[in-house]
Structures are given as structure tokens and as C-alpha cells.
Amino acid sequence: MRVNDAVSGVLIMLLSAVLFANTFTFPAVPGVQYGAAVFPRAVLAVMFGAGAWLTVKGLMTVKAAGWIQIDAWARRPGSWIMFALIVAGMLFYILAADAIGFVPVSGIIIFVLLLAARGRTHLLSSAILALSFPLLLYYVFVNALRVPLPAGWLGGVL
């Protein structure tokens, strides 16, 4: 499914305007003429300009392309089911990772997504990936990169 660039451009301009207005609440830095809001305001001004460019570009092509084009993937129910599973996985991680831990939660998410994408014929390889990949990620992030991930139930083991 494709949305005309004018729609995206207007949304980007609205988001950048709201965020730009929020920069006025940033604290001033004592002894400096510029504060913490200078760089965000510059980025948001560029973002607003890009949104305006997208809007103009989209309005020039709206007659030929229309406002919304529905691609073949959007007509298949399986695509929407996979999309819903991805969103559900993100919500599950947000709600459960601190209590249960990174490794079990991400393992469950990976297993469910692999099962939905590959089917039951690849059950064993999906299970192996769902067990090994989160452990590898946990090791790399916690030990090599020093990024704290929630240990949860496996806190004493990992």
C-alpha cells in the first residue's frame, strides 16, 4: 500500500512543527548565547522543509497516482496477520522484558514470527534460531558492548 507523498509531507511538517514548539521548553545554558534547543531546531527546520518538498511533489502527482494505491501484498490476509504479529511482539517486549528478561521474551517473539513466516515444516530450525539468536545478542550487547539488557528470570544464569 502506498500513500501519496503529500500525505506523508503534511504529517512530517505537523510533527516537526509540534517538536519545534516543544524546543522552547528546553532549559537555557548559563553563560552561553545558544542553548540546548539550537541543534534540534536546525534539524526540525530541515525536516519541515523536506516535508514541504514532499507535499509539493505529492500534489503534482496526485492526479496520476491518486491518494492511496493498494499493492498486491496488502490484499493478502497473511500480510496483515504478520504485521499484527510484529506489532504484538513489540508490545509484548515492552510489557514483559523487564520482568521476564530479554532472552526469553525475544526468543518467544522470534519463534512465533518464524513459525508464522516459515510454517510448521521448519519447526526445529525455527526453535534453534529462537533459542540461539537471543543468547548471542545478549552476550554481544551485555559483554562486548556493555549495553545493559534486562536479565529477568535468567539473571543468575547469564
d(CA 57, CA 140) in angstroms, rounded, equals: 44
How many CA atoms are closer than 13 Å to the CA of 18, on its beta-carbon side? 5
Check residue 155 and give its pLDDT.
72
Check residue 36 and give its pLDDT.
79
Check residue 153 and give its pLDDT.
81
Q: What is the pLDDT of residues 22-49, one digit of tens each?
A: 998 888 878 777 777 888 999 999 999 9
DSSP at 145: S
> Is the separation of the CB atoms in 62 and 55 below 8 Å?
no
Domain coordinates of the chain in residue numbers? Answer: 2-69, 74-156
Cα 88 from chain centroid (whole Å): 13
Residue type, 24: F
Check residue 156 and give its pLDDT.
67
The residues, ordered by sequence, that sit 6+ positions from 44 with a Cβ below 8 Å of its Cβ are 16, 19, 20, 23
The residues, ordered by sequence, that sit 6+ positions from 98 with a Cβ below 8 Å of its Cβ are 150, 152
> Is the separation of the CB atoms in 113 and 133 below 8 Å?
no
Q: What is the pLDDT of residues 67-78, one digit of tens each?
A: 777 777 777 888
Q: What is the DSSP string of 9-48?
A: HHHHHHHHHHHHHHGGGSPPPTT-SS-TTHHHHHHHHHHH
Residues in the chain predicted with pLDDT less than 50, given as ranges, are none
Check residue 126 and give its pLDDT.
95
Read off the C-alpha cell for 77: 490476509
Residue with cell 525536516: 47
